[in-house]
Amino acid sequence: MGGRVSIPDPVAEPTVDYDRHAIDAYVLVLGAEARQHLDALHERTRSADATGLVDLAGPGEASYLYLVLTLGDIRGYSTRLHLYGFGVDRRLATDVERVAGSVAAIIVAHESGGDTSNVMLAARSVASSPRGVPVALIGDDVLGREWTQASGTAPIFQTTPSQDSFSAALKAVAKEVLSSLRKAAPSTAPAPPPGSRPWWKVW
């Protein structure tokens, strides 16, 4: 990804670091209200992570955001969500398409209508993905139907805009993403260090 700050590239599955006892998951926040919600989330949480809320755009570039949300210690593992925020600027289309196919989950925050090109681009990227990508959607029923038609999959969570809608969407995708740790086949999981419990038994 572009920008002037080095950030981790998103990956589709939560990563488990046994040495640090840490879990990291990567989530795309997409839509006209993506910045609004990430700004508000940053103000509420004031994450201890050094990055804070970062605008990755260089001079004259379309704005997109990065925020690390620390969920705290969950069953002995420090757990973080890496949130990548994209608005409706069509100059972001290439990055939207790439990131949508490379994250563990997506939150669509497109509440005020207007240009849905990037949202539908992400939906088509999800449709072409060989795996399921859980999606939480904040918007009206029309947008929900358009997303389902373009992606081939209904959102796991949908709500209309409210003061608590983004928090509810975050909780929904966090629950879904972390539950994937329990569902993962041990035969495909990385082997833990000697003496460590496999994460599929921790979870």
Residue 26 forms part of a structural domain: yes
Residue 199 forms part of a structural domain: no
For 33, residues 6+ apart whose C-beta sits below 8 A from its C-beta are: 109, 110, 111, 112, 138, 161
What are the pLDDT digits (tens) for 91-129? 999 989 988 988 999 999 998 778 999 999 999 999 988
Residue 198 forms part of a structural domain: no
CATH number, domain of 152, equals 3.40.50.300
For 6, residues 6+ apart whose C-beta sits below 8 A from its C-beta are: none
Residue 144 forms part of a structural domain: yes
Number of domains in the chain: 1
What are the pLDDT digits (tens) for 25-78? 999 999 999 999 999 998 888 755 556 888 888 888 888 899 999 888 877 788
Residue 191 forms part of a structural domain: no
* Predicted TM-score of the model (pTM): 0.85
Residue 1 forms part of a structural domain: no
- Chain-centre distance for alpha carbon 40: 16
Residue 192 forms part of a structural domain: no
For residue 92, the enclosing domain spans: 15-179
